[in-house]
């Protein structure tokens, strides 16, 4: 089943064309990693799909529902109510977690299910505890975000996204704000989600990360897809730009 | 001024303090919500709305409150044939004036919120209203408590200005007692009352800040 | 007498704003003063409740004073109730023109300017601007004040009287203007100054509060009269009040009230 389809997506900030004509699609249970240098447009791509930026052209569909399309060269978003429904099928994990500091860990996870999806509080709490268990954070339910380490905070933010039962989960550089030794915690969680057939798109700087969890890797540069394929194929790509980028990475 | 006169004065000062407290609480009750409404106008995406609010803020913050009291009571209300009692005319002017200051405090609080909080809420599907009341407002309240505390203490002292339109509050009583007794002691007694009231205001805000200290 | 003008600047600014809004609707009203008072059965008297002994609050916060007693009697003879409305004295003209009060009656000095703006009653009492000295002062005449420091209430008619007295201010070491008469008396009490110029009735009140500390110079600076102020168009109300005052002068009530407050009859009506 097709979960995400992006066609000819374009986005500019003023004169700067951040995304130029990008197309790709994702099947259920697939894990896609998007790599590329800073400023290549990877994060903007995620933000467009998650309705945090408006696109300038192209088409995005989620689970077969058209979110945005182009009619006679004009961008047309779905009606507000439909957009809201589509939005609930996606989840986004931010680089800096963006947990709600005034809520306990548990309430960070239950707030949206209870008030957005009208899940009974008791049930939402049960789900939240299960998710925290899975993240290895069972004892942190009553803690506040300021009491968590970066790795713990990021795992809570993943649990918060998962509590809405999204069809597809996006990660925007989920380990960039973490100390290198903490990235393992996140990697482990993502791997577990992959094993459960969670459809995921991960924008990352961590090549090892992409290599370990992704079914497919897209290499982006200057707003276009330069190269793509299964991780092993991409890491041995003949494409000179891919090689140059990965070469930089290996030298570091 | 002898001790008997002083003892007689104190209960009257307590009475007059009630008027002062009435002005204080009524101003807060109306000016805080109004301040929020004005704040949204100030941050509106429609330029005319923003311009009108900016003009209002300039007038309210750029002229003395004492002048506004006089202007409303002797100018605006009679002009429209309204006869608002002195006390309510004073409340009217205080509310309009303080809402302007509150508006700017709220705005500084809202604008200091990281964009990520709004985005995280949006991605989870919260509506704009839910995002405001559940996510932003509680955090904004914590951030604006210190300036709000200062503003409230200023308000306690500013209530003395109501006497300019004949409202019999604490400082007015002190003044008339000074004239009767030919002694400035009543002014100092009033000072003790203001200090007491502001001591309580200050304690309340400290307690509130403490209560919200459970997160950063 | 012009009273406390601490807030003069704010008031001036306010009045400038008001000027536009009120232009044209100020003095065009009909003479409805009397019928309004009689219909409502209430005469609203605007006063400064911090001006002893004419009108002030006693220790129980009741407004009392010479003018209050006279006005109470006038109102009862007119068959209406007297309502005392304390106002900020610097806003008295606005209170009157906005109709918040029916009259200004509180040691209100007759001046040419006020005669033009308002409808003033016949003077009911004489007042002089006197010089208050410490009891042990060596000053015996106005000329002796040369080289001394004199205090007045800023914006008061004492200040006006000094202005009118040719060469007097120049002869002084310094003329200090303070915000109110109590402050002026304090200034004198602490020895910071040598004399205070103020209304005689007020001076006598404060001297009685500090028995033996002060004395008055026999020579006075200026003679003035106290009147009652009404809105320009309210001639009929003024006439009605005046009529009762004359009657009270006739039957001795006025003299009686004066003796109660001043120990002598200072009233001038019908004399």
pLDDT of residue A10: 93
User: For A111-150, how does the pLDDT look when each residue is reduced to its tens digit (9 = 90+)?
Assistant: 999 999 999 999 999 999 999 999 999 999 999 999 999 9
What is the pLDDT averaged over residues B36-65? 95
C134 strand-pairing partners: C214
pTM of the model: 0.81
pLDDT of residue B168: 86
What is the pLDDT averaged over residues B148-158? 97
pLDDT of residue B45: 92
What is the pLDDT averaged over residues B136-153? 95
Q: Does A252 have pLDDT greater than 60?
A: no
- Say if A165 is an interface residue toward chain B (CB within 8 Å): no
Q: Report helix, strand or coil for A132.
A: helix
What is the pLDDT averaged over residues B155-181? 89
Q: Tell me the percentage of chain B whose pLDDT exceeds 90.
A: 77
pLDDT of residue C80: 95
- Residues of C within 8 A of B79 (CB-CB) are 21-22, 25
pLDDT of residue C33: 80
User: For A19-75, how does the pLDDT look when each residue is reduced to its tens digit (9 = 90+)?
Assistant: 999 999 999 999 999 998 888 889 999 999 999 999 999 999 999 999 999 988 899
Nearest-10 Cα torsion for B69, B72, B73, B77: -170
pLDDT of residue C208: 84
B67: tokens are 């002048």
Q: Contact A168/A89 with Cβ under 8 angstroms?
A: yes
C4: tokens are 């406390």
Report the range of poorest mean pLDDT among C4-18, C23-37, C115-129: C4-18
**HEC states along chain B?**
CCHHHHHHHHHHHHHHHHHHHHHHHHHHHHHHHHHHHHHHHHCCCCHHHHHHHHHHHHHHHHCCHHHHHHHHHHHHHHHCCCCCCHHHHHHHHHHHHHHHHHHHHHHHHHHCCCHHHHHHHHHCCCCHHHHHHHHHHHHHHHHHHHHHHHHHHHHHHHHHHHHHHCCCCHHHHHHHHHHHHCCCHHHHHHHHHHHHHHHHHHHHHHHHHHHHHHCC
C233: tokens are 């168009």
Distance from chain centroid for Cα C148 = 27
Task: State the pLDDT confidence band at B205, using cuts at 50, 70 and 90.
Answer: very high
pLDDT of residue B152: 97
Q: Tell me the percentage of chain A whose pLDDT exceeds 70.
A: 98
Report the range of poorest mean pLDDT among B33-42, B151-160, C106-115, C249-258: C106-115
Q: Residue C229: which H helix or E strand, with range?
A: strand C222-230
Q: Which of B18, B73, B78, B188 to mutate to test the interface with C (most CBs of C within 10 A)?
A: B78
- Say if A137 is an interface residue toward chain B (CB within 8 Å): no
Task: State the pLDDT confidence band at C160, using cuts at 50, 70 and 90.
Answer: confident
B64: tokens are 């003395």
C-alpha to C-alpha distance for C120 and A107, rounded to whole angstroms: 75
What is the pLDDT averaged over residues C29-53? 87
Q: Which residue is it, tokens 């009619």?
A: A71
Report the range of poorest mean pLDDT among A193-202, C10-19, C154-163: C10-19
B-proximal residues of C, 91-110, CB under 8 Å: 91, 94-95, 98-100
C-alpha to C-alpha distance for C75 and C52, rounded to whole angstroms: 21
- Say if A32 is an interface residue toward chain B (CB within 8 Å): no
Task: State the pLDDT confidence band at C8, using cuts at 50, 70 and 90.
Answer: low
User: For B81-116, how does the pLDDT look when each residue is reduced to its tens digit (9 = 90+)?
Assistant: 777 888 999 999 999 999 999 999 999 999 999 999
Q: Residue C253: which H helix or E strand, with range?
A: helix C253-262
Task: State the pLDDT confidence band at C178, using cuts at 50, 70 and 90.
Answer: confident
- d(CA B25, nearest CA chain A) in Å: 28
- d(CA B115, nearest CA chain A) in Å: 9
pLDDT of residue C90: 77
Report the range of poorest mean pLDDT among A180-194, C13-27, C155-169: C13-27
In sequence order, what E strands does chain A have? 2-13, 16-27, 31-35, 57-62, 65-71, 74-77, 90-93, 168-172, 199-203, 216-221, 224-229
Residue B58, Cβ neighbours under 10 Å: how many?
11
Q: How many CB pairs below 8 A link B and C?
A: 97
Asked if omega into C89 is within 30° of 0 (cis), the reply is no
Q: Contact A46/A172 with Cβ under 8 angstroms?
A: yes
pLDDT of residue A182: 81
Q: Which residue is it, tokens 């994990």?
A: A93
- Higher per-residue confidence, C148 vs C4: C148
Q: Does C31 have pLDDT greater than 80?
A: no
pLDDT of residue C5: 47
Mean pLDDT of chain A: 91
Mean pLDDT of chain C: 85
Of A88, A91, A115, the CB nearest to B130: A115
Q: Contact C106/C46 with Cβ under 8 angstroms?
A: yes
Q: Which residue is it, tokens 């507000």?
A: A80
Q: Tell me the percentage of chain C whose pLDDT exceeds 90.
A: 43
Residue A59, Cβ neighbours under 10 Å: how many?
18
Q: Contact B151/B158 with Cβ under 8 angstroms?
A: no
B-proximal residues of C, 17-46, CB under 8 Å: 17-18, 21-22, 25
C-alpha to C-alpha distance for B104 and A23, rounded to whole angstroms: 46
- What is the pairing mode between strands C50-51 and C55-57? antiparallel
- Higher per-residue confidence, C100 vs B35: B35
User: For A195-217, how does the pLDDT look when each residue is reduced to its tens digit (9 = 90+)?
Assistant: 999 999 999 877 877 888 899 99
Q: Does B188 have pLDDT greater than 90?
A: yes
User: For C203-242, how does the pLDDT look when each residue is reduced to its tens digit (9 = 90+)?
Assistant: 988 888 888 889 999 888 888 899 999 999 899 999 999 9
A69 strand-pairing partners: A76
pLDDT of residue C23: 40
Interface of B with C (CB under 8 A): 5, 8-9, 12, 63-64, 66-67, 70-71, 73-76, 78-79, 83, 163-166, 168, 172-173, 175-184
C-alpha to C-alpha distance for C62 and C89, rounded to whole angstroms: 18
Q: Does B80 have pLDDT greater than 80?
A: yes
């Amino acid at each position: 089943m097709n979960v995400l389809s992006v066609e000819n997506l374009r986005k500019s900030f003023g004169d700067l064309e951040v995304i130029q004509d990008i197309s790709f699609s994702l099947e259920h249970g697939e894990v896609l990693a998007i790599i590329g240098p800073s400023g290549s447009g990877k994060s903007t791509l995620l933000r467009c799909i998650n309705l945090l930026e408006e696109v300038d052209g192209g088409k995005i569909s989620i689970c077969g529902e058209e979110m945005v399309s182009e009619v006679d060269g004009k961008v047309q978003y779905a009606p507000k109510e439909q957009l809201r429904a589509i939005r609930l099928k996606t989840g986004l994990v931010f680089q800096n977690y963006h947990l709600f500091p005034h809520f306990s860990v548990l309430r960070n996870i239950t707030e949206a299910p209870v008030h957005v999806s009208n899940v009974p509080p008791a049930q939402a709490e049960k789900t939240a505890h299960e998710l925290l268990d899975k993240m290895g954070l069972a004892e942190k339910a009553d803690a506040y975000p300021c009491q968590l380490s970066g790795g713990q905070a990021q795992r809570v933010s993943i649990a918060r996204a998962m509590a809405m039962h999204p069809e597809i989960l996006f990660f925007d550089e989920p380990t960039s704000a973490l100390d290198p030794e903490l990235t393992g915690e996140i990697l482990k969680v993502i791997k577990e989600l992959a094993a459960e057939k969670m459809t995921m798109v991960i924008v990352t700087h961590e090549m090892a990360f992409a290599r370990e969890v992704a079914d497919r890797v897209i290499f982006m540069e200057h707003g276009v897809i330069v190269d793509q394929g299964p991780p092993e194929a991409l890491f041995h790509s003949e494409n000179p730009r891919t090689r140059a980028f990965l070469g930089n990475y290996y030298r570091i | 001024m002898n001790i008997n006169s002083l003892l007689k004065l104190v209960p009257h000062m307590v009475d007059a303090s009630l008027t002062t407290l009435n002005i204080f609480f009524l101003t807060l009750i109306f000016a805080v919500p109004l301040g929020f409404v004005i704040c949204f106008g100030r941050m509106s995406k429609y330029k005319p709305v923003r311009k009108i609010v900016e003009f209002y803020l300039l007038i309210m913050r750029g002229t003395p409150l004492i002048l506004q009291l006089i202007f409303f009571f002797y100018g605006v209300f009679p002009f429209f044939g309204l006869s608002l009692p002195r006390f309510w005319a004073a409340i009217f002017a205080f509310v309009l004036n303080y809402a302007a200051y509150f508006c700017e405090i709220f705005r500084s609080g809202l604008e200091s919120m990281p964009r990520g909080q709004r985005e995280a809420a949006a991605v989870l599907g919260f509506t704009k209203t839910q995002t405001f009341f559940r996510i932003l407002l509680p955090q904004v309240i914590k951030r604006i408590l210190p300036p709000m505390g200062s503003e409230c203490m200023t308000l306690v002292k500013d209530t003395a200005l109501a006497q300019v339109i004949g409202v019999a509050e604490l400082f007015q009583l002190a003044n008339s007692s000074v004239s009767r007794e030919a002694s400035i002691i009543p002014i100092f007694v009033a000072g003790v009352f203001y200090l007491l009231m502001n001591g309580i205001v200050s304690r309340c805000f400290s307690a509130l800040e403490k209560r919200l200290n459970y997160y950063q | 007498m012009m009273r406390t003008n601490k807030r003069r600047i704010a008031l001036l600014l306010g009045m400038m704003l008001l000027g536009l809004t009120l232009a044209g609707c100020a003095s065009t009203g009909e003479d409805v003063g009397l019928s309004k008072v009689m219909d409502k059965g209430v005469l609203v008297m605007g006063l400064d409740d911090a001006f002893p002994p004419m009108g002030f609050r006693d220790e129980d916060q009741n407004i009392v004073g010479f003018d209050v007693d006279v006005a109470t009697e006038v109102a009862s003879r007119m068959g209406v109730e007297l309502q005392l409305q304390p106002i900020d004295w610097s806003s008295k003209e606005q209170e009157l023109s906005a109709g918040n009060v029916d009259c200004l009656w509180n040691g209100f000095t007759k001046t040419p300017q006020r005669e033009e703006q308002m409808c003033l009653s016949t003077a009911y009492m004489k007042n002089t601007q006197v010089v208050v000295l410490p009891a042990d002062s060596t000053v015996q005449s106005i000329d002796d004040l040369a080289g001394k420091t004199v205090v007045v209430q800023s914006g008061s008619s004492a200040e006006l009287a000094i202005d009118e007295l040719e060469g007097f201010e120049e002869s002084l070491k310094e003329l200090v203007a303070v915000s109110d008469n109590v402050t002026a008396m304090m200034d004198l009490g602490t020895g910071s100054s040598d004399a205070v110029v103020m209304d005689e009735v007020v001076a006598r009140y404060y001297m009685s509060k500090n028995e033996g500390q002060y004395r008055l110079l026999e020579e006075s600076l200026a003679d003035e009269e106290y009147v009652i102020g009404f809105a320009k168009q309210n001639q009929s109300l003024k006439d009605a009040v005046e009529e009762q005052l004359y009657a009270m002068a006739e039957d001795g009530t006025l003299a009686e009230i004066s003796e109660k407050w001043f120990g002598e009859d200072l009233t001038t009506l019908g004399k």
